[in-house]
Amino acid sequence: MLLVNLGTPEEPTPAAVRRYLREFLSDPRVVEIPRLVWWPILHGIVLTTRPRKSAHAYQQIWAPEGSPLAVITEAQAKGLQARLGTDVTVGWAMRYGRPTIAAELQRLKDAGCERILIAPLYPQYSGATTATVTDALGVQLARMRWQPALRTLPPYYDDGAYIAALRADTLRQLAALDFEPEVLLLSFHGMPERTLHLGDPYHCQCQATARLLGEALAADHPDLRIDVTFQSRFGRAKWLGPATDAALLAEAANGTRRIAITAPGFSADCLETREELAIRGRDAFLAAGGTHFAALDCLNAGEAGMAMLEALVRRELAGWV
């Protein structure tokens, strides 16, 4: 089986970030703007200005072992391998960057795996995330004379195992804080609003996750207000809202002094959680008048998250293993 996450530069340098962004932002599912319009913007503006800024952000969260997203995804694969035993071979890949889906799919096939489960680590489905994984699979399959049989892990935004894992890990982290939050923001990655009107289910699935998690936390934290926001806006188009950065400022302006934020749509901590939320979000909220701020970790390779992954994967492997 193959775990797949979004991707990351190989180094926190402008050159490496530029290579990564070129691949990522060239995907027509990620940027749904006609090529004739987008290409001059991408190559003339974005790739000449954004890599240096993004590299600085990556440098603030880069681990000795490498990019947090890659390090954690590899740890998830190793943890899952230990749980599943020798009957299953577990690999991992990045949709953009390395290791590539094409290389890892071929590696598994060469190792004798003729039935492969592809597990995109996106709880909520979006054309810009989940669908791009199957696009990449199709390209590689077209090159293979002897193709393996494939299954793909469905979105698990409302799965009982996912909600239970979020509840357990959120309660654990809230209990470890030295303050009681007044508000818990659930920050999901943003998408252009037009994707919702075009039929993408992402927004609705994020709202469903938030509702179910709120219900799961209610008994333990009946007075905790839980709100949904969307982060990581890019460009001038209207994006799903409310925006996380604006919501943090509004909360401080309205008198909220103690806030916690978590990102249940991310399976592993990355630039968007550790820099955008934990660093920039904290600085903005405290500068606006807040006194206590906590950015909770994603499920990562912790016990709750790994138990969830094992349950989901064993279900999808039924009949094969």
Q: How many domains does the chain have?
A: 1
pTM (two decimals): 0.96
Residue 312 lies in a domain: no
pLDDT digits (tens, 9 = 90+) for 26-83: 999 999 999 999 999 999 999 999 999 999 999 999 999 999 999 999 999 999 999 9
Question: In whole angstroms, what is the distance from residue 265 CA to residue 263 CA?
Answer: 6
* Residue 241 belongs to domain spanning: 160-295
For residue 72, tell me if it sits in a domain. Answer: no
Q: Identify whether 176 is part of a domain.
A: yes
Q: Is 60 contained in some domain?
A: no
- CB count within 10 Å of CB 175 equals 8
pLDDT digits (tens, 9 = 90+) for 89-125: 999 999 999 999 999 999 999 999 999 999 999 999 9
Q: Is position 281 within any domain?
A: yes
Strands (E), the chain: 2-7, 91-96, 115-120, 149-152, 183-189, 225-231, 258-262, 292-295
Helix (H), strand (E) at residue 144: none
2 in a structural domain: no
Contact 185, 247 (CB under 8 A): yes
Distance, in Å, from the CA atom of 15 to the CA atom of 156, rounded to the nearest integer, reads 35
**pLDDT category, 18, cuts 50, 70, 90?**
very high
Note whether residue 74 is domain-resident: no
- Asked whether residue 270 is domain-assigned, the answer is yes
Per-residue model confidence as pLDDT tens digits over 133-179 = 999 999 999 999 999 999 999 999 999 999 999 999 999 999 999 99
CATH number at residue 234: 3.40.50.1400
